[in-house]
Amino acid sequence: MIQNLHPYPRLTTIRKLSQAKDGRIHTDGPSKVMTLLIYMNDAWQADGSGRLRVLYDGQNFEPYAAEVPPTMGTVFAFLRADHSWHGHKPFTGERRVVQTAWITDAKEIERKKKRNSTAQFLKGIFGR
């Protein structure tokens, strides 16, 4: 399937740290058209934690359709759908990823940026 992403604005975020609450099973919200992930970790543990899984449903990490190791240069992209379930088992620590999302409109990007800046401000006050 070919998707023309040219009309959609992009939002790029860089993440360095993962918290235990990150990675819960979900689908991206309807404002996202497509997500592209580029992982930037030199090595990764083999136990499955922190490895992105493409899932069959919104409840279970197993069985899974695919598992994506977050190692240096690994690229994974997917179109958003009501059934594009994904997530990773809990991992706390350094998990570097560059994420680009194509968003339905610029207003959504501004809303997401504002929400993120508020979260960063509160993290600065209360810690991680």
Backbone angles phi, psi at 106, to 5 degrees: -65, -30
| Residue 109 binned pLDDT confidence (cut-offs 50, 70, 90) | confident
| Whole-structure pTM value | 0.85
Q: Give the pLDDT confidence of 26-57 residue by residue, as tens digits.
A: 999 999 999 999 999 999 988 889 999 999 99
Q: Is the pLDDT of residue 99 over 60?
A: yes
Domain boundaries, the chain: 10-126
pLDDT surpasses 60 at 63? yes
What gap in Å lies between CA 28 and CA 11, rounded to an integer?
A: 14
Direct distance between the N- and C-terminal alpha carbons of the chain, in angstroms, rounded to an integer: 40
- Does the domain formed by 10-126 have CATH 2.60.120.620? yes
